[in-house]
A and B are shown apart, each in its own frame.
Chain A
Amino acid sequence: MSDVSEGTVPPRDDSTGDGEPTEDDGDPSGADRGAVRTALAEIRTDTRARWAALAAGAAAGLAAAWVHWYGFLLGGALVGLASRDLKRGLLAGVGFGLLAWAVFAGLVASAGGLGAYLGMGRLLYLSVGIPVGLSALGSLARGVV
Chain B
Amino acid sequence: MDLDTTRRALVAAIVGGGAVGGSLSPVRGYLDRFAPYSGSAWRDATDRTDRRVESPYGAAEVRYDDYGTAHAEADGERALYFAVGYAQAADRLFQMDLQRRVMRGQLSEVVGERALDSDEFHVKMDFAGGAAANLELLDDTPTGAAVEAFSDGVNACRKREALPLEFGLLDYEPDPWTPADTMLMEQQISWGLTGSFWTLRRERIARKLGADAADQLYPSRMDHDSPIIRSESESATTGTSAGSRRTVTPSSDFDGGALLDWVGEFERPPGVGSNSWVVSGNQTASGNPIVANDPHLSLMAPPVWYEMNLRTDDVSVRGVTFPGVPFVVIGENHAGAWGFTNAGADVIDFYRYDTDDAGDRYRYEGEWREFDTEEHTIRVSDGDDRTVTVRKTVHGPALEREGQRVGVSWTGLTATRTSRAIHLYSKSRGMDDFLAATRKMDLPTQNVVYADRDGNTLYYVTGKIPIRTVGGEEVSGTRVFDGSAGEGEWRGFEPFGVSSWEGFVPFEEKPHVINPDYLGTANQRIADDPQHYIGERYSTPYRGQRLYEMLDERATSDNPMDPQFMRRVQRDAKSARAEQLREELAAAAEGRGLADAADLFRDWDARMTRDSRAALVFVKWFEQFRRETFGEEFEAAGLDESYYPNDWVLATLPDDSRWFGDAGREAAMARALRTALDEVEDGATYGDYNTTGAITHPFGQPFLNYPAYPTDGSAYTLNNYRKESAVGSSWRMVCPVAEREQSVCVLPGGNSGEYFSDHYDDQLRLWADGKYKSMSRDLAGDTAITFEPEGDR
Residues of A bordering B, CB below 8 Å: 4, 8, 10, 12, 25, 62, 65-73, 77, 100-101, 104, 107-108, 110-113, 116-117, 119-121, 123, 126-127, 130-131, 134, 137-138, 140-141, 143-144
Contacts and interface: CB of A to CB of B under 8 A. Distances in A.
9 residue pairs, one from A and one from B, having the closest CB atoms: A113-B756, A143-B11, A69-B35, A104-B36, A107-B46, A126-B34, A137-B18, A120-B703, A144-B12
Interface residues of B, number: 37
B703 A123 contact: yes
B643 interface: no
B37 A104 contact: yes
A68 B33 CA distance: 11
A144 B11 contact: yes
Contacts, number: 115
A66 B37 CA distance: 5
Given A12-B4, A143-B11, A117 B34 contact: no
Interface in B7-36: 7-8, 10-12, 14-15, 18-19, 22, 30-32, 34-36
Contact of B36 (A10, A119, A130, A144): A130
Contacts of A68: 38
A20 to B, nearest CB: 14
A4 B14 contact: yes
B465 interface: no
Nearest to A10: B7
Contacts of B36: 65, 100-101, 104, 127, 130-131
Contact of B35 (A8, A72, A138): A72
Contacts of A140: 11, 14-15
B47 interface: yes
Interface string B503-538: 000000000000000000000000000000000000
B35 A137 contact: no
Contact of A71 (B7, B14, B38): B38
Contacts of B35: 65, 69, 72, 127, 130-131, 134
B791 interface: no
25 contacts: A8-B11, A8-B14, A10-B7, A66-B37, A69-B22, A69-B39, A72-B35, A73-B15, A108-B42, A108-B45, A108-B46, A108-B756, A111-B47, A112-B756, A113-B45, A113-B755, A113-B757, A117-B756, A119-B703, A121-B703, A123-B41, A127-B35, A130-B31, A134-B18, A134-B31
Nearest to B47: A111
Contacts of A110: 46
Contacts of A137: 14-15, 18-19
A62 B2 CA distance: 37
Contacts of B45: 107-108, 111, 113, 117
A127 B39 contact: yes
A33 B7 CA distance: 18
Nearest to A123: B34
Contacts of B31: 69, 130, 134
A26 to B, nearest CB: 9
A69 B38 contact: yes
A62 B451 CA distance: 60
Contacts of B755: 113, 116
Contacts of A126: 30, 34
A130 B34 contact: yes
A138 B10 CA distance: 14
Given A62-B37, A127-B35, A130-B35, 5 more contacts: A66-B37, A113-B756, A127-B36, A130-B34, A134-B22
Given A127-B39, A138-B15, A8 B32 contact: no
B758 interface: yes
A92 B19 CA distance: 19
Contacts of B703: 116, 119-121, 123
Contacts of B701: 121, 123
A12 B2 CA distance: 13
Nearest to A72: B35
A73 B18 CA distance: 9
Contacts of A101: 36
Contact of B38 (A67, A117, A119): A67
A74 to B, nearest CB: 10
B506 to A, nearest CB: 53
A116 B760 contact: yes
Contacts of B47: 111
B3 interface: yes
B243 interface: no
